[in-house]
Amino acid sequence: MNGTLKRVAVAALAMFALLMINVNWLQAVKAEEYQSDARNTRNFFDRYAIERGRITAGGKVIAQSVDTGDNRFRFIRKYPDAKLYAHVTGFFSPESADAIESTHNKLLDGSSADLLLRRSIDLFTGEPTKGANVELTIDPKAQKAAYDALRQSGKRGALVALDPKTGGILAMVSLPTYDPTELSGTDKAKVFKRYDELAKDKSQPLLNRTIAQTYPPGSTFKVVTAAAYLEDDDSRGPETTVEAPQRLPLPNTNISLPNYGGAACGSGQVTLVYALERSCNTPFGSMGMELGYDKMKEQTEKFGMGQQVAVPMPVAQSDFGPKEDQAAVAMASIGQRSNRMTPLQMAMIAAGIANDGTVMKPYLVNKVTDSKGDTIDEADPEELSTAVSSGTAAKLRDMMVSVVSNGTANLAQVPGVQVAGKTGTAETSDGQPPHAWFISFAPAENPKVALAVIVESGAANVGAEATGGHTAAPIAKAVLEAVLNK
């Protein structure tokens, strides 16, 4: 009898143990998975029970929660100037979020551990829980200028502007855009239908082209080749003479690299500054082959390429291209072949030159505060890399000023301000017209803004490098003026 009781007792204890293991497995290990499961309707309604924090830019509210008075969906997300800031704020849909709404979700909805003290005080005083507010580095005037100027081009494109001394992002615009309000409603069927429409749109309005898309950089990349050439020998400078044939034979091929339209580059021997002003292909292709793949790739990495960057949204990897033959190095050195860059990376190159050779880590969030205005977190500018020496940066700055004053970028001139820049025309592989590029910073002697702009298939039929100069440079000028004329 005692043996039977013992067996029953052991069996009961084993079942209790299994029950406790199961409870802990469900409530601890699997809790987050079940909480985020789309079938969890409680989680769906909870998303709208808390007043999420505001997202602001330059004191302007660009995302906020509005009290509906409906007990089921108490707070609904609204986006003033929705399309203007869509790729910055992102959306807050019934089951997902994007951009800042996603990266800072736990702060915005008040569930972050950083807000534990605030929640405790609110519990004690009986005040409802509110999310933290996120203040961005975006300059509303620069953002609006970029958006309007890009939209007037009638093309797809992107512009990103930085404070070269801190890395703060002053403007981030990608076109076409979308209305995040349409994806932030409570009607799942309606929201999902609209999302599918946007996702299937061939123009890719959901894509943030500034950080999630790479392009051949075209002739804007010649400033990197010039940087590597100057760094290789500090006796070189803007007046150094370089070979500039009308066509550059490419080793182990039966083809040669021409200048744009087959034109001559001066007399065949020109100064480095002249080659950059006129954006000649042959001298920069020759420089790239002379330096070799390893030195060229090393220079790109010094500008930040190859590093994992988040702003806080993750940034697509820019790449000089794989190691191939000398002919490939020549093409990559003028921004073609396998050379691929995000607009943000090209803005970082301009900013690094502007900042005496130091590239700052780009960032979008300036400050996070709780519902009472107390600071939770604040940006601390951080150096990403040293791209070039201050001496080389000064030489590049002078040459880029000359490109705007005497070369292909005269349409970027701002009255009373010395502007530095470089145009670019990037050939595409899909038969479409070339992309138009422009990178710039100003004022040259004390830079406050650096930027990159690309207009997809935006090259104008006006000859030479004036394509980037005619299409992209005026867009950059509008943003430079918006920042400098505040």
Which residues touch 348 (CB under 8 Å, ≥6 apart)?
Answer: 162, 303, 304, 359, 362, 384
CA distance 384 to 450: 16
- CA-to-CA separations, 162 to 77, 87, 99, 106, 131, in angstroms, rounded: 28, 16, 18, 27, 28
Q: Which residue has the tokens 């396998």?
A: 338
The residue type found at 453 is V
- Any alpha helices (H) in 168-291, and if so which ranges? 188-200, 209-212, 222-232, 272-278, 281-291
CA dihedral 112, 117, 122, 123 (to 10 degrees): 90
CA distance 177 to 198: 10
The two beta strands, 133-136 and 55-57, are: parallel
Of 162, 141, 239, 145, which is closest to residue 439 (Cα–Cα)? Answer: 162
Tell me the three state secondary structure of residue 483: helix
CA distance 486 to 482: 6
Q: What is the DSSP letter of 39?
A: T
CA distance 445 to 443: 6
Q: 152 near 66, Cβ under 8 Å?
A: no
Burial class (CB in 10 A: 0-12, 13-18, 19+), 49: middle
* Angle between helices 222-232 and 343-354 in degrees, nearest 10: 40
CA distance 244 to 277: 13
Q: Tell me which of 65, 112, 153, 219 is the catalytic residue.
A: 219
Q: 139 near 162, Cβ under 8 Å?
A: no
Instruction: Look up 256 and say whether it is catalytic.
Output: no
Q: 450 near 424, Cβ under 8 Å?
A: no
Which residues belong to the active site? 219
